[in-house]
Amino acid sequence: MRRRWIAGARYAAMFVLAVAMLAPLYWLIVSSVRPAGDIFLHAGSFGLRTLVPERFTLENYGIMLHSDFPRAIGNSLFVAVTTVAFALVVNSMAGFAFAVFRFPFQRTLFVLVLASFMMPFESIVMPLYTLMRGLGWTDTYRALILPEVASGLAIFLFRQFFAAVPRDLYEAARIDGATWWQIYWRLVLPLSAPTIATAALMQFVTQWDAFFWPIVAASSPELTMVQVAIARNANLETTNWGGLFASASVSVLVAALPFLALQRTYIRTIMYSGFK
Amino acid sequence: MRAPAWVPFAFLAPALAGLLIFRATPIGISLIGGLFGTSLTGETVFRGFGNYAALVQDGEFWNSVRVTLLFNLVINPLQVAAAFGLAMLTAKPGRFVGLFRTAYFVPITVSIALTSVLWNILLDPGMGPVQALLRALDIPAQPFFRGQGQALGTIIAIASWRGIGYWMFFMLAGLATIPRESYEAAALDGAGPWQRTRYITLPLMRRTFAFVLIADTAANFLLFAPVYIITNGGPNGATSLLMFAAYKTAFTYLDQGRSLAISTVILVIIALVALVEFRFVRTEDAP
């Protein structure tokens, strides 16, 4: 009897928390399929109509398609995908070197790599901007992409994966006459699919969510990224609410779908890389 | 493994170049640039420690330091504790438990910028549905982001809405590594649920706690978007986090040298926090 009462209380708590966590997003997405005039119609007096739309429309998404938002989506996708492509090669190569070879300054270099991921990127945004201005790179895709390629955490994840591969495998491949590049590229990189998925997701989402660095480094309209576009839209006096909610919903979905699909792999790879 | 010395460095070169140019060089620029300033005629002039001397005497700067420390002393322990609580709540398998966990995870997929935009609308005093909900429940309207006493707390709340479900998953992974036998033995000895948590779960979760605390601190320490999008540092400096102060100094007051001096202060604080965390992790490894 007492046990059943505890189980009931547990489910009640889990349910209430789930509603609290999801309600804001539910309201966001429901608002995006309401006629623009209806969005705040019932917001002032809370009731069923605040939560359930009376009329359903996709016109907000049509408005969004004819605004400058598709350009921002294109920019963000381009920046995120390019970053991931460079990053996977660069960080896995470094992880391979740390895992397989013994070389001078190895410990020092590895500690510096670890330190770089304890240092929040925001902390160097202002001086990085000074550097970009000196190089003449402000308002370029380069400025948005290159600083996010080398990642301490990604290097660490790849190192942990490659270090767990049995040494015999490397030795045998060497005896068979494989070059180190072939061992890395053909033999072990293809084995590291979970680490590749985790690092790719992590860096894709970082770029898709990027806000602070883009407003500092690339403020021109042609280079506007998704988050910056949404925040600017929300700050205008004459806000186009329908378009705002539609573009915000798209932005959430692009990050949420791969995140939810890879959730298990992602958490496991990070946890079991030595933090456990 | 044996290989000519150039081989490992060839593999390392691209990543090290990236970290050197885009992480290490900015630190140097911050240290040196903080010693310079811009004269009224627009020339760069050497100020020595002038920027720092001016910061020390500036009440607004000290306010930003205070707000940043207060913010972090509240948000990080709060998120770690809440994530642990959620993990304990959802650890036992059962019907729909997986769905509940996923529900808590979903907010992390919303960017911090969009989190700010969304909650700014939800909590708006005029048209926000949350205010309407308060009215429906007969609770007086709250100022949230516009109240000097509530603004920082509200930012902490929305950042936690976004973060705790994510950290919960790391806590769950940590809980899963605790052997069942430990609990069974303790139960046989007559330990209740509270004692089992205190004497078995918590000690065996230390590494997980350390990891979540370090990663969470790095994520929260320099929160910028909510301040930029919602409060602009206000009301009356209540949310003027250091990162926003550095940004405003460079782009509103156009004082590059002073902005880099603030950046240097930020880097020093982060280095100190990292040192403390490293020590925490190391004592943890000792038996």
Instruction: Note whether B246 contacts A126, CB cutoff 8 Å.
Output: yes
pTM score of the predicted model? 0.88
Give the span between the Cα atoms of A120 and A124, in whole angstroms. 8
User: Which residues of chain B are within 8 Å of residue A90 when distances are taken between CB atoms?
Assistant: 14-15, 18
User: Which residues of chain B are within 8 Å of residue A94 when distances are taken between CB atoms?
Assistant: 11-12, 14-16
A30-34, A77-81, B44-48: which is most confident: A77-81
Give the span between the Cα atoms of B204 and B179, in whole angstroms. 10
B149: distance to nearest CA of chain A, Å? 24
B51: distance to nearest CA of chain A, Å? 15
User: Average pLDDT for residues B89-103, to the nearest whole number?
Assistant: 89
Instruction: Note whether A211 contacts B111, CB cutoff 8 Å.
Output: yes
User: Which residues of chain B are within 8 Å of residue A30 when distances are taken between CB atoms?
Assistant: none
In this prediction, residue B45 has a pLDDT band, given cuts at 50, 70 and 90, of confident
In 3-state terms chain B splits into helix, strand, coil percentages (rounded to 5) of 75, 0, 25
CATH classification number, A68-271, choose in 1.10.3720.10, 3.30.930.10, 1.10.357.10, 2.60.40.2480: 1.10.3720.10
Closest partner CB to A40 (pick from B108, B127, B267): B127
Give the span between the Cα atoms of A139 and A133, in whole angstroms. 9
In this prediction, residue A276 has a pLDDT band, given cuts at 50, 70 and 90, of very low
- Tens digit of each residue's pLDDT (9 = 90 or more) over B161-188: 999 999 999 899 888 888 888 888 888 8
B74: distance to nearest CA of chain A, Å? 18
Domain ranges of chain A: 2-57, 68-271
User: Which residues of chain A are within 8 Å of residue B102 when distances are taken between CB atoms?
Assistant: 260, 263
Which percentage of chain A shows pLDDT scores above 70? 96
- Tens digit of each residue's pLDDT (9 = 90 or more) over A208-261: 999 999 999 988 888 999 999 988 888 655 567 888 888 899 999 998 898 888
User: Which residues of chain B are within 8 Å of residue A155 when distances are taken between CB atoms?
Assistant: 15
Q: Domains plus CATH for chain B?
A: 36-285 (1.10.3720.10)
User: Average pLDDT for residues B150-170, to the nearest whole number?
Assistant: 93
Burial class (CB in 10 A: 0-12, 13-18, 19+), B233: buried
- Report residue A259 as tokens: 């995140």
Contacts of A257 (CB under 8 A, 6+ apart): none
A132 pairs with which residues across the strands?
none
Instruction: Note whether B218 contacts A120, CB cutoff 8 Å.
Output: yes
User: Average pLDDT for residues B222-240, to the nearest whole number?
Assistant: 87
Does residue A44 carry a pLDDT above 80? Answer: no
Give the span between the Cα atoms of A144 and A211, in whole angstroms. 11
For residue A154, how far is the Cα from the chain centroid?
Answer: 13
What angle is formed at CA A52 by the lines to CA A49 and CA A58, rounded to 5 degrees?
Answer: 120
